[in-house]
Amino acid sequence: MVDACDGEVRKKKMMADADRVEFGNHLAKLVADNHWTAAEFAREASKRFRGRSDFRRCDILLYMRGVQFPDRPHLKAICEALGVEENALGTEVHVGLKH
């Protein structure tokens, strides 16, 4: 027997998974539109990141594949590098979510 709470948790997880994939697809398209590889884009985003470490190619690939969603500082750097607002990447559902 499935508890109603379990069903809601699964539904939210599936939505979060789909949202990460949607974000990744938007990101991949914008990176490709700029004719960047993941490594080139990681370097561009790193120039705008105000954190302890730079972006790595593998970070960008995880975002593009919908495996992870960037935290707020990484997301800001990604948007600055692409010259887009956060909503252009379909991120309004992710505010406050952890990856």
User: Euclidean distance between the first and final Cα of the chain, in Å?
Assistant: 30
Q: Which two tokens stand for residue 98?
A: 């952890």
Tell me the whole-structure pTM to 2 decimals: 0.75
The answer, yes or no, to whether residue 35 has pLDDT greater than 60, is: yes
Q: CATH no. for residue 41?
A: 1.10.260.40
Structurally, how many domains does the chain consist of? 1
Residue 99 lies in a domain: no
* In a domain? residue 94: no
For residue 27, being part of any structural domain is answered with yes
Confirm whether 98 is domain-assigned: no
Tell me how far CA of residue 97 lies from CA of 3, 13, 44, 70, 85, in angstroms.
24, 11, 24, 9, 18
Q: Express each pLDDT in 45-95 by its tens digit.
A: 999 998 777 888 999 999 999 999 998 889 999 999 999 988 777 765 444
Determine the pLDDT at residue 95: 45
29 domain-assigned:
yes
Of the candidates 15, 42, 22, 46, the residue with the CA atom closest to the CA atom of residue 31: 42
In a domain, 96, yes or no: no
Helix (H) or strand (E) holding 83: none
Angle at 71 between CA 66 and CA 75, to 5 degrees: 80
pLDDT tens string 3-24: 555 555 554 555 588 888 999 9
In a domain? residue 95: no
Residue 39 lies in domain: 4-89
In-domain check, residue 33: yes
Cα 32 to chain centroid distance, Å, stands at 15
